[in-house]
Amino acid sequence: MSDSNSRNAVRPVKRERPEGEKTLFWHASGCWAKKIRGQLKYFGNGTYAAALDLYHQQAPDLHAGRQPRDPSDPEHLTVYVLCAKFLTVKHAKVQTGELSQRSLDDYAATCKLVIKAFGKGRAVSDLGPDDFQKLKKRMARTWGPVRLGNEINRVRIVFRYGAENGYIPKRIVFGEGFARPSKETLRKHRAKQGLKLFTADEARRMLDAATLPLRTMMYLGLNCALGNSDVGSVAIGAFDLNAGWLNFARVKTGIDRRTPLWPETVAAVREWLAVRPTPTDSQHDGLLFITKYGQPWGIENRALSNETRKLLDSLGINGHRNFYSLRHTFQTIADECRDFIAVRRIMGRATTDIADDYRETVSDQRLMDATEQVRKWLFG
């Protein structure tokens, strides 16, 4: 083509961006474009909205210096889609009783963290040891070794699900930098924190100073070894206050528990029921504990942890102890009755002991002996 013809060639008509929009600009070549990492990247010559949508799809890869993948590529499974598929399966297991709601909530929080760290449009096949090592550093800034190890395990479960179900065409390499904290690290951490145990004097001071409903919750922690999620989920119908029993499966494991109630615990539950607020949502009508705002005392809002922390600080009870330490206290003191099977039944702890598959019941008297051991320790 001659220079004259080149000069006379029709140039693409410049297109204007929507008012206030500055993400992309119209390039002289006839495409929407943006300069990223010192290079021009082009997003087609269609409408601005279509170009902007394409940009948002490719932005995580382009800004990270990676070549964007074609979404039709079978290896283009994104982090967001993997997490969505994983949570769909886990939600179905909750519906069939194979998984607790608490576990589903934990997995959902993990998926949210993964999506935020890697980006929802990031291809799973692009992830490597460096990415997971950065994720671990990010988590370690907030959590201690125990929580960190649990979270790393959940992240691995999410990606293992993708591999085992054929969504990930090649094995994910997490690398040595994404290993869980060693047993030695965990031992040192526990030793540094001290015993997760209250003395009888401390427990009595806590019960005397606590107001409702925290006092009732603490009785259930000391008498029945209920943890935070148990307290948030226990139903009024699980109590037989006249006979003095609580029949309530542990939220975390789903293992049935039958626990004799102390007279003091029965009185505390009755006292709370007399002033219990009305739930704002009828689906929570059956829950024992409702906040003054009409909401459940769920583990997600940390209300129980915060109230316990304020109480312990006001009493000068120091150390890395919290509401869940009541459960540690029950286990430690109840074990003195030397009926470990009865104690384990009250705790609702899952084990690999095959005998548990054959042991149908533990007598009420054995359960009463275990809880009475703690009551004598507490009240003398």
How does pLDDT run across 322-337, given as a tens digit for each residue?
999 999 999 999 999 9
Which residues in the chain are classed under CATH 1.10.443.10?
200-379
Mean pLDDT of the chain: 87
Q: Lowest-pLDDT range, 72-76, 148-152, 302-306, 362-366?
A: 72-76
Which of the four pLDDT bands, split at 50, 70 and 90, describes residue 31? confident
Q: What is the mean pLDDT of residues 282-305?
A: 85
| Rounded percentage of the chain residues whose pLDDT exceeds 90 | 51
Which pair of tokens denotes residue 244? 């003095």
Q: What is the mean pLDDT of residues 292-306?
A: 80
Q: What is the mean pLDDT of residues 18-24?
A: 87
* Relative orientation angle of helices 214-224 and 303-315, to the nearest 10 degrees: 90
| Rounded percentage of the chain residues whose pLDDT exceeds 70 | 88
Helix or strand holding residue 31 (H, E): strand 31-36
Q: Tell me what pLDDT residue 13 has.
A: 75
Which residues in the chain are classed under CATH 1.10.150?
79-192
Which of the four pLDDT bands, split at 50, 70 and 90, describes residue 65? confident
Q: What is the mean pLDDT of residues 247-255?
A: 75
Fold of 200-379: hpI Integrase; Chain A (1.10.443)
CB atoms within 10 A of CB 34: 18
CB 333 within 8 A of CB 201: no
Encode 85-114: b = buried (16+ Cβ within 10 Å), e = exposed.
bbbeebeeeeeeeebbebbeebbeebbebb
Q: What is the mean pLDDT of residues 200-227?
A: 96
* Rounded-to-integer distance, Cα 18 and Cα 266, Å: 67
Instruction: Quickly list H helices, 69-213.
Output: 79-95, 101-118, 129-140, 145-164, 183-193, 200-209
How far, in whole angstroms, is CA 318 from its chain's centroid?
A: 26
The 10s digit of each residue's pLDDT in 132-164 is 999 999 999 988 888 899 999 999 999 999 988
Q: Tell me what pLDDT residue 1 has.
A: 47
Q: Going by CATH, does the domain composed of 79-192 fall within 1.10.150? A: yes
The verdict on pTM exceeding 0.85 is no
* Rounded-to-integer distance, Cα 155 and Cα 314, Å: 38
